Amino acid sequence: MTPEQDSETSMSQKVLLNATEINIALHRLSCQLIENHDTFENTVLIGIQPRGIFLAERLKDVLQKEYKIKKVQLGYLDITFYRDDFRRSGKPLEANTTKIDFIVEDKKVVFIDDVLYTGRSIRSALTAIQSFGRPLEIELLTLIDRRFSRHLPIQPDYRGRQVDAINYEKVKVCWKENDGEDAVYLIEK
Amino acid sequence: MKELSVNHLLGIKYITKEDIQLIFETADHFKEVINRPIKKVPSLRDITIANLFFENSTRTRLSFELAEKRLSADVINFSAASSSVKKGETLIDTVNNILSMKVDMVVMRHPNPGAGVFLSKHINSSIINAGDGAHEHPTQALLDCFSIREKLGKVAGKKVVIVGDILHSRVALSNIFALQKLGAKVKVCGPKTLIPKYIEKLGVEVEGNLIKALEWCDVANMLRVQNERMDISYFPTTREYAQQFGLTKKILDSLNKEIVVMHPGPINRGVEITSDVADSKQAIILDQVQNGVAIRMAVIYLLASKIKHHED
C-alpha cells in the first residue's frame, strides 16, 4: 500500500469536490430521497462494500438528524462473490462483510456507492441482493457519476456530481472518518 | 491482497499460520452466505470439480459437494466401489481420464497415506485432500479449529485434548498441526496401544488418565474408535474402552469448569461419548458440521482463485 500511496500523492491530482460541496451534495441527495421515499417506511438503504458504506452512513445521518426521519434502515452488501472478474483480474478478490439485518422482500431498495464507473459493480450488486429476497424496486444513488465510461446499461437515479474522466484517470472519494478529510479527487494514474 | 501460499491443500503440515487465518476470514463470509434465504453465490460458475472417493465417506463427501454447489461449481462424483479401479486401473490413469474431461480441481479421499502428495506431482489440477489413510484430513482440522475460534473467541493459548484412537486417526494428526500453528496447547489421551510412540516428537504430551486430561483442558475432541482400521485387538473390549476413555455426563458435571466437547463424527454413542453428552449444550458437534461447509467453501474459493483463467 505505502509505495502506491506515495506515488499517488506525488502525481497530479485535482480537487473535484471540497468538503463544503460534498456537504451540499449530501443535503440535496437527502432531499431528493425524501421526495421519492417520504418517511422511508418501506425503503431500505444498501451501502455497497467497500467504499459505498461511508456515503450511506453519512446520508443516514443527514436524513435522521437534519430532516428528522425517524427510522432509516441501512445495510451493507458485499459483492465479491458475485463479481464477473473472478480469476481474471490478476489479483485475488478479498471479501468484505455483508450486514443486512432486515427483510428486503417487497421493499424499495436504494443502492448507494461512491463512484459509478463501468457499472459492473452495480450489475453484481443486482445479482447479490436477489439472495436476500425480491425487492419491490431498486434505485441507484452515487456521489460521482463518471460519464462515457459505462460497460453496461446502468444509470444512477440520484447523482452528486457528473464527471468527465478519461480511462487513465481515477476518481477518489475521501471521507473524514476513513481518510482524514472530505474531498473528491481526480488523480492521474 | 492476500492469497494462499499453496496451490493444493494436501495437509496442514504444508500450509502456514497465515494461510489458516485467511481461510478462517474467508469462511466467516461464507458462513454468512449459507445463512441467507438463497445460499448460493456464482463465483465458481466456470469451474468443474471432481470428487474422487477411493474410500467410503458420507459427511465429508456431502459437505464437499454442498460447498461446491453453493459456489456454483459443476460437480462430478466418483466412488471406487463402482469404478474401473476394481478392474486394475492405476491412480494416475484414473485421474488423468477424469481430467481429460476438463476438470479444474480434484477433491480426493484415498486409503493410502500420501496419495494426494503423489498425485500433485503428476497432474496440473488443484488438489484438496479429503483424507489420506491415517495421514491427514486437513479440512476437518480447519473446521475443528474454526469451531473452537467461534465458541471461545480464539484458538491461541487454549488447551485442547484429543481423546481416543490417535494411532489410526488422520483427524488427530491434522488437528495437532493446525492447533499448534495457531498457538494452542495439545495433549493426547487414550489407551497406550492407540498412541503412536513418536507422538511426543510433535511437541504433544501424552496423558493416560481421562479425568486428569479433562481437568487440564478447555476443549475435548473425542475421536471415534475406528474398528474398521484395527487389524489386531488394541484393547480388550469396547465396554472396557468406554469405561476408561468414554466421556459421560457424570464426568462432565464433576469437572470444576465447563469444557467444550467436540466429535468429528460419526459418533459411536455409548463408546467414546454417551448420548446425553453428545446432545448436551457443551457439545458443538452439529456446529462443526455446519462450519464444515463454510470452511470447504473458503478452501475451494481460495484455491480456485489461483487457477488462471484461459480463453479456450
Q: Does A80 touch chain B (CB under 8 A)?
A: yes
- Per-residue pLDDT at A168: 85
The rounded mean pLDDT for chain A is: 91
Of A123-127, B4-8, B81-85, B299-303, the least confident: B81-85
Summarised one tens digit per residue, pLDDT across range B19-34 is 999 999 999 999 999 9
Q: Do the annotations mark residue B137 as ligand-binding?
A: yes
- B/e letters for B74-99, b = 16+ CB within 10 Å, e = fewer, are bbeebbbeeeebeeeeebeebbeebb
- Per-residue pLDDT at B311: 52
- The CB density around residue A23, as the number of other CB atoms within 10 Å, is 14
Q: Which chain B residues are closer than 8 Å to A127 by Cβ?
A: 42
- Per-residue pLDDT at B5: 95
Mean pLDDT of B85-110: 86
- Per-residue pLDDT at A94: 83
Summarised one tens digit per residue, pLDDT across range A27-46 is 999 999 999 999 999 999 99
- Per-residue pLDDT at B227: 74
Q: Does A131 touch chain B (CB under 8 A)?
A: yes
Are B305 and A131 a contacting pair at CB < 8 A? no
Q: Do the annotations mark residue B265 as ligand-binding?
A: yes
Closest chain A C-alpha to B129 CA, distance in angstroms: 22
- Per-residue pLDDT at A11: 65
pLDDT of A1 higher than 50: no
- B/e letters for A89-114, b = 16+ CB within 10 Å, e = fewer, are eeebbbbbebebeeebeebbbbbbbb
Q: Does A78 touch chain B (CB under 8 A)?
A: yes
- How far apart, in whole angstroms, are the C-alpha atoms of residue A56 and residue A3? 30
B16 included as an active-site residue: no
| CATH T-level topology, domain A2-78+95-188 | Rossmann fold (3.40.50)
- Per-residue pLDDT at B2: 85
- Per-residue pLDDT at B312: 47
pLDDT of B44 higher than 80: yes
The chain A residue lying nearest B42, using CA atoms, is: A82
Summarised one tens digit per residue, pLDDT across range A19-29 is 999 999 999 99
Of B173-187, B223-237, B275-289, the least confident: B223-237
Q: Which chain A residues are closer than 8 Å to B37 by Cβ?
A: 131-133
Write down the catalytic residue from B137, B181, B185, B187.
B137
Are B41 and A131 a contacting pair at CB < 8 A? yes
- Per-residue pLDDT at B83: 65
pTM: 0.89
pLDDT of A14 higher than 50: yes
Are B29 and A97 a contacting pair at CB < 8 A? yes
The rounded mean pLDDT for chain B is: 92
Q: Are B75 and B68 in contact (CB under 8 A)?
A: yes
**Per-window interface: A 108-127 vs B, CB < 8 A:** 127
Q: What is the dihedral of CA B254, B255, B257, B259, to 10 degrees?
A: -110
Hey, what domains does chain B have and what are their CATH numbers?
12-137+290-304 (3.40.50.1370), 138-289 (3.40.50.1370)
Are B304 and A87 a contacting pair at CB < 8 A? yes
Q: With cut-offs at 50, 70 and 90, classify the pLDDT of residue B209.
A: very high
| Minimum-distance CB partner of A92 among B1, B36, B309 | B1
B60 included as an active-site residue: yes
CA B112 distance to own-chain centroid: 16
Summarised one tens digit per residue, pLDDT across range B254-266 is 998 999 999 998 8
Q: With cut-offs at 50, 70 and 90, classify the pLDDT of residue A189.
A: confident
Q: With cut-offs at 50, 70 and 90, classify the pLDDT of residue B81.
A: confident
Are A95 and B29 a contacting pair at CB < 8 A? yes
pLDDT of B170 higher than 80: yes
One-letter amino acid at B160 equals: V
Percentage of chain B modeled with pLDDT above 90: 78
B36 included as an active-site residue: no
pLDDT of A79 higher than 60: yes
Summarised one tens digit per residue, pLDDT across range A135-153 is 999 999 999 999 989 999 9
Q: With cut-offs at 50, 70 and 90, classify the pLDDT of residue A8.
A: very low
CA-wise closest residue to A59 among A21, A14, A25, A97: A25
What number is the ipTM of this complex?
Answer: 0.80
Any long-range contacts for A168-174 (C-beta under 8 Å, 24+ apart)? A171/A16, A171/A115, A171/A117, A171/A144, A171/A146, A173/A51, A173/A54, A173/A55, A173/A114, A173/A115, A173/A143, A173/A144
Summarised one tens digit per residue, pLDDT across range A142-184 is 999 999 899 999 999 999 999 988 888 899 999 999 999 999 9
Summarised one tens digit per residue, pLDDT across range B137-162 is 999 999 999 999 999 999 999 999 99
pLDDT of A3 higher than 50: no
| Minimum-distance CB partner of A87 among B2, B33, B308 | B308
- Per-residue pLDDT at A135: 96
Are A82 and B40 a contacting pair at CB < 8 A? no
The residue ranges of every structural domain in chain A are: 2-78+95-188
- Per-residue pLDDT at B82: 63
